[in-house]
Amino acid sequence: MALTELLPLRDLQACCAPITRDVISQENAASLARGLKALADPSRLRLLSMIAAHEDGEACVCDLTEPLGLSQPTVSHHLKVLTQAGFITRSKRGTWAYFRIAPGALDTVTSFFATV
């Protein structure tokens, strides 16, 4: 299986031991870094938090723009980055897009750095 088939980030759990056990391969380090880069933005972290806290764990882009204090195109860009990194999923209903936290996506990041 090619490394590119392991993307998005949530699939790293199947291929990578926690960083404190084994040396991570160059390819897996690059993949993990891309995911961490997606998270390394205050607005994206807030978006994840807002989606998770939203009723039923799902939020419409129209519900995220005003509380975040950014324009709709900027919020949509951040949501696209998080979706491409595998942290959230997107479903379209009519003209609106709805987002959810991808199952297990954040667990992968935390378990990678586990010391046990």
pLDDT of residue 18: 52
Report the predicted TM-score, pTM, of the whole model to 2 decimal places: 0.75
- pLDDT band of residue 40 (cuts 50, 70, 90) is very high
Q: Which fold has domain 3-111?
A: Arc Repressor Mutant, subunit A (1.10.10)
Place of tokens 């897996």: 28
The residues with which 10 forms a beta bridge, in sequence order, are none
Backbone φ and ψ of 91, nearest 5°: -130, 140
Strand partners, 89: 100
Question: What DSSP state is assigned to residue 114?
Answer: -
pLDDT digits (tens, 9 = 90+) for 63-103: 999 999 999 999 999 999 999 999 999 999 999 899 999 99
Q: Are 68 and 43 in contact (CB under 8 A)?
A: yes
